[in-house]
Structure 1
Amino acid sequence: MIDTNSDLLALCQSLEKSPALALDTEFIRVRTFFPKPGLIQIADQSQVYLVDPLGIDEWAPFKQLLVNPDVVKVLHACDEDIELFYHLMGVFPVNVFDTQVAAACCGMDFSMGYQRLVKSVLDLDLPKTHSRSDWMQRPLSPEQLTYAADDVDHLLEIYTFLKSKIDDGGLQNIVAGEYQQVVDNLQDREFGNAINRLKMAWKLNGYQLARVRALSVWRERSMRAKDLPRNRIASNDALMQLAKHGNWSKSQLFDIEGLPEQTARSCADDLIALLSVEYLQEERLPKPVKADRILNLIKSTLVDYAQRMGIAEQLLMKKPYTEATYWAVKSKSSLPEQVSGWRRGVYLEALDAVISELS
């Protein structure tokens, strides 16, 4: 167990020439927005190292290792791990290879769990009995330590298997592009997509929609500043209620279901100011797309492209992109810039193919 600053320094120095490292984290995230690290697992070609973050306060050596472009960092379903590293150390790892994304690129199931991937590639059965453990307790049990070590012990072998297929298929841009999207999402401080959590927002109109957009951004910023889960700030239903009626007094805020009393008390002035229409502009969201010939044609075209590329179709088909393509066809307009990254070229071809089919 690596549980002192000096041990971590020595470990990082010994690993700086490694061609690839497997990484994973264990954390808790129950009463906070940001994950609280309970354990960091590292594996090279020879052994597994378990790092106890509760005993370490000097992260510079590990931070340097994470940003070393000569060392591939191999993770599985990396989103929350990357968020933890960023919150703990203020950096995003570079040269990251996500085995979950890579598996989907190789035509395996989309969003495949680590245990299933190990079984599929290596024919090994791994238990998942301690995924909900209390990783902040000390000492950690032998069973917890074994479980944690298993999460990286086979990752480099899987990386070697998948990387060969990725290289043969020329799919490196997809793996890199999906990781860049993770980084971009974590770096977004405008929270322009926060409203997407409110599935019924499209039913609002004019100033109601402008209000709920402002409220959703306020909630994202508040929960980060206070390190609280979203519902501890305000539920989705509470934001919708606030936006629909607009004019609320401070006392009325306490009657809104899903708005915690602490929020109603401490944030009353902010909420009332946000609900003012003086600085808001009316806007509308498109209605949800209903299945019709156009949508079915777009989806079938994308499925064909995915099959030709040899990737999981769910990796290619993102709902916002599919709907943006739908409205581009309906309005006879160009594909919006929101359809970006490695998918954009495919969606442009799909758009042309659908328009040609319909003409």
Structure 2
Amino acid sequence: MTSWIDQPDALASRLAAWAGQPLVALDTEFIRERTYYPQLALVQLAVPGEILLVDPLVPGMDEALRPLLLDASVTKLMHSASEDLQALLRGCQALPAPLFDTQVAAALCGLGAGLGYQKLVEQVTGVQLAKGETRSDWLRRPLSESQREYAADDVRHLHAVHALLDRELAERGRHDWLRQDAERALRGAADEGDDPWPHLALRSAQTLDREGQARLARLLRWREVQARRSDKPKGWVLDNELAVALARRPPRSLSEFHAVLDRSPKAPRKARGELFEVLSAPLSEQELSLPLADADGGDKARLKALQQAVATRAGELSLPEGLLCSRRHLEALLAGRGWPAALEGWRRELLEPVLSPILAGG
């Protein structure tokens, strides 16, 4: 049975009836095309035999949802939860803990990295789900029957998927791995701390010299602040390509700066004066001491050896290499920036014995 819930009291009543349920399937629909923060547009909840489509646009619905999200006795079943977590935090001021992410669990069970929900459901249940409402406008009301059916499907099969993955994790002794990854995801969603080195996430930063990368890092930090303040997508504030171009050849005057921006169709229209000041201010010694984005990771031969060690370990464990350790994290290790937070826990326990000799060999 699927029910549309547009009254907080009705939701509270249904959730009270679910008391004692150890598992609740959870998904969201949100819109993020024109904003920095995701706009929560729909929340889907399910226990065996019942699905609730909850309208979070109704005043007071966030307060009615919050007790379930915070209930430590109820595990929330979600698939590829990272952006949903941000939407829930923004819309309900709460995160769903404890969390069982079926996409991560599937990867830990050796079923493949980054499996989409439709593909995973088909593998587990044989059911083929429709994809027609993927880019739908979830903020419009009323939702169409097609939208409601699509949304209900997103939680309808999570209990069946969980049952299989839970057994497989138990057989492989990897429940704790999943728990650690879920807790890290929740911490990441709650942490809005600024990335001190945002340039490292852009491959094009590798084409810049040290001063260019320092300017780029400064521009990207400014962009992050502006995007949050205005609740606009980062690319609307300052496009990546333009940011790299400005960092490479900073205009020498305000008039030259305006001329460069006027030639770019994606250039910002507002805050140009502030942006020019940010770009033209002298670089400090601290800024110039930043870690560099390096195409070879600083040492091509050792990077290749590290990648091979990860591939071998991943093969032994029947894990996707990217799930175990990404190239970006190997580059951080090679640059002497220590073990990234994403590798702490079970990953470091598995990798440190095989990576440390290679790192020490430099």
Query: Could you tell me the TM-score, scaled by structure 1's length?
Result: 0.88
Shift of 1:134: 1.4
- Report whether the alignment pairs 1:227 with 2:235: no
Q: Which residue of 1 aligns with 2:273?
A: 268
Q: Which residue of 1 aligns with 2:200?
A: 196
- Report whether the alignment pairs 1:159 with 2:162: yes
- Report whether the alignment pairs 1:117 with 2:120: yes
Q: Which residue of 2 aligns with 1:287?
A: 294
Single out whichever of 293-302 and 78-87 deviates more from structure 2: 293-302
**CA distance in structure 1 between the aligned counterparts of 2:99 and 2:69, rounded to whole angstroms:** 9
Q: Which residue of 1 aligns with 2:53?
A: 50
In structure 2, what residue type is equivalent to 1:227?
D
* Contact 1:205-1:282 within 8 A present in 2 as well: no
- Report whether the alignment pairs 1:309 with 2:317: yes
Structure 2 counterpart SS, 1:81: helix
Shift of 1:233: 0.1
Identity in percent: 28
Structure 1 counterpart SS, 2:203: coil
**CA distance in structure 1 between the aligned counterparts of 2:39 and 2:157, rounded to whole angstroms:** 25
**CA distance in structure 2 between the aligned counterparts of 1:139 and 1:19, rounded to whole angstroms:** 32
* Equivalent residue for 1:347, pick from 326, 329, 351: 351
* Contact 1:231-1:258 within 8 A present in 2 as well: no
Structure 2 counterpart SS, 1:53: coil
- Report whether the alignment pairs 1:244 with 2:248: yes
**CA distance in structure 1 between the aligned counterparts of 2:199 and 2:180, rounded to whole angstroms:** 24
Call closer, same or farther: CA 1:250–1:259 in 2, change over 3 Å.
Answer: farther
Structure 1 counterpart SS, 2:12: helix
Single out whichever of 15-24 and 266-275 deviates more from structure 2: 266-275
Single out whichever of 295-304 and 117-126 deviates more from structure 2: 295-304
In structure 2, what residue type is equivalent to 1:17?
G
Aligned length in residues? 350
Call closer, same or farther: CA 1:139–1:61 in 2, change over 3 Å.
Answer: closer
Q: Which residue of 2 aligns with 1:277?
A: 282
- Report whether the alignment pairs 1:62 with 2:90: no
Q: Which residue of 2 aligns with 1:131?
A: 134
Unaligned runs of 5+ in 2: none
Shift of 1:67: 1.3
Single out whichever of 95-104 and 318-327 deviates more from structure 2: 318-327
Residues 1-47 of structure 1, C-alpha deviations (whole Å, 9 max, x = no match): 10012112223333343201101111222111222222111001221
- Report whether the alignment pairs 1:176 with 2:184: no
* Contact 2:236-2:268 within 8 A present in 1 as well: no
* Contact 1:20-1:72 within 8 A present in 2 as well: yes
Q: Which residue of 1 aligns with 2:111?
A: 108
In structure 2, what residue type is equivalent to 1:26?
E
Residues 116-173 of structure 1, C-alpha deviations (whole Å, 9 max, x = no match): 1011111111111111111122221111111110110000111111011112222123
Residues 249-285 of structure 1, C-alpha deviations (whole Å, 9 max, x = no match): 444433322653423xx24225414541254531351
- Report whether the alignment pairs 1:318 with 2:326: yes
**CA distance in structure 2 between the aligned counterparts of 1:324 and 1:191, rounded to whole angstroms:** 14
Q: Which residue of 1 aligns with 2:340?
A: 338
Call closer, same or farther: CA 1:278–1:146 in 2, change over 3 Å.
Answer: closer
* Contact 1:301-1:354 within 8 A present in 2 as well: no
- Report whether the alignment pairs 1:29 with 2:36: no
Call closer, same or farther: CA 1:261–1:311 in 2, change over 3 Å.
Answer: closer
* Contact 1:42-1:152 within 8 A present in 2 as well: yes
In structure 1, what residue type is equivalent to 2:43?
I
Cα RMSD of the aligned pairs, angstroms, is 2.5
* Contact 1:69-1:94 within 8 A present in 2 as well: yes
Unaligned runs of 5+ in 1: 329-334
What is the correspondence of 1:207-218 to structure 2 with a 5 Å cutoff?
Answer: 207-218=211-222
- Report whether the alignment pairs 1:97 with 2:105: no
Shift of 1:203: 3.0
In structure 2, what residue type is equivalent to 1:306?
A
**CA distance in structure 1 between the aligned counterparts of 2:238 and 2:198, rounded to whole angstroms:** 13
Call closer, same or farther: CA 1:279–1:125 in 2, change over 3 Å.
Answer: same
Call closer, same or farther: CA 1:278–1:29 in 2, change over 3 Å.
Answer: closer
* Contact 1:234-1:258 within 8 A present in 2 as well: no
Query: Could you tell me the TM-score, scaled by structure 2's length?
Result: 0.88
